[in-house]
Amino acid sequence: MAQRDAQGDARLSSVEAAFRAAMRRFAATVTIITACDHERRHGMTATAVTSLSMDPPSLIICLNQTTLLHDIMFRARRFCVNVLHCDQADLSAAFSGGVAPERRFESGRWLRCEDGLPYLADAQANLFCRKAAALPYGTHTIFVGQVEDVGLREATAPLVYHDAGYCVTAPATDHCVAAPAT
């Protein structure tokens, strides 16, 4: 029995390592998710954000259950997804743990909604969401946000995270696009 458990652990470890390597191949737009409860406000860099539905307009975010933002999100009714511009890598780094939580909002141009929800004034986009659902899974919780309002800036030049580094987007060139099969 112990041998089977060791083999199972080795197989699981191998899958986890391969999964981690595969996830590094995903390019993702960098966001800062912000929320507040009656006592605290917090923000955290996240790439686990995706659209869910157009009717109603909604998205999902995935947060590790050990984070301060996760705790606040359970109490908060609303949150904001701030889509970063390609020149905001320093802000992303600050909200990824490079700056203490109580000092994070000292960087960038942050404003507050009437209910105190912080949002980045010069983000590429701000998606103001009402928390519609929370589904725990493994080490994370999937939060569903129904989008109530959207703020957009003119330029579309998102900050992207890929293979453990920041990137920018560019149109695909001929050498990146496969020719159609004939």
Neighbouring C-alpha atoms within 13 Å toward the C-beta of 104: 25
Higher pLDDT, 60 or 177: 60
Residue 124: alpha-carbon gap to chain centroid = 14
* Percentage of the chain lying above the pLDDT 90 cut: 74
CATH number for 99: 2.30.110.10
- Domain assignment of residue 106, given as a range: 27-163
Determine, yes or no, domain membership for 140: yes
- Domain assignment present for residue 123? The answer is yes
Q: What is the value of pTM for the model shown?
A: 0.87
- Residue 67: other Cβ atoms inside 10 A: 17
pLDDT at 140 over 60: yes
pLDDT (tens digit per residue) in 12-66: 688 899 988 998 899 999 999 999 998 899 999 999 999 999 999 999 999 999 9
**Count, residues in the chain:** 182
Q: Are 101 and 88 in contact (CB under 8 A)?
A: no
pLDDT(144) > 90:
yes
Residue 128 falls within a domain, yes or no?
Answer: yes
Q: How many domains does the chain have?
A: 1
